[in-house]
Amino acid sequence: MKSLAISFLSGLVFALGLGISGMTRPVKVIGFLDFFGRWDASLALVMITAVAVYFAAWRISARMSAPLDAREFRIPSRGQIDLQLVSGAAMFGAGWGLGGFCPGPAITSLASGAPAVLVFVAAMAAGMRLHQLLVARRAQAPARASVLSPAADS
């Protein structure tokens, strides 16, 4: 229950921050990307503030033996940059630039009921599901290949 409450409060603070800063409005994102027109620096300020808060939280957590609601920290160990990471980042950036939304603001904007938001979130959910299916299919591919390969018969 404690973990659920912390998750809810974190999401609420995030959603309020997005709303107050105007980051739920695609025009803000598009304005940030319009370097040669009417450039809007407000997204850069939001990013700088987010990085500063994260930096402070990281420094505080480095001195803790465990998180408040878990037995240990689980920090990702994968550090390599590969094609999957780069292509995923490129697709994320293209979607963000074309649609003016990234996942957090899009989900927050669902409360508006705007048709464009509904279409974006539906497309995002479909893309996430397609990714799950492709990853599952790739995980099964070596097993199928070894059963069907001529080397398996020898």
Distance CA 57, CA 64 (A): 11
Band (pLDDT 50/70/90 cuts) for residue 151 is: low
pLDDT at 115: 93
pLDDT per residue over 15-54, tens digit each?
A: 898 888 888 888 888 888 888 888 899 889 988 998 999 9
Is the pLDDT at 78 greater than 50? The verdict is yes
Neighbouring C-alpha atoms within 13 Å toward the C-beta of 149? 8
The whole-angstrom distance between residue 149's C-alpha and the CA centroid of its chain comes to 39
Query: Buried b vs exposed e over 75-95: b needs ≥16 C-beta within 10 Å?
Result: eeeeeeeeeeeeeeeeeeeeb
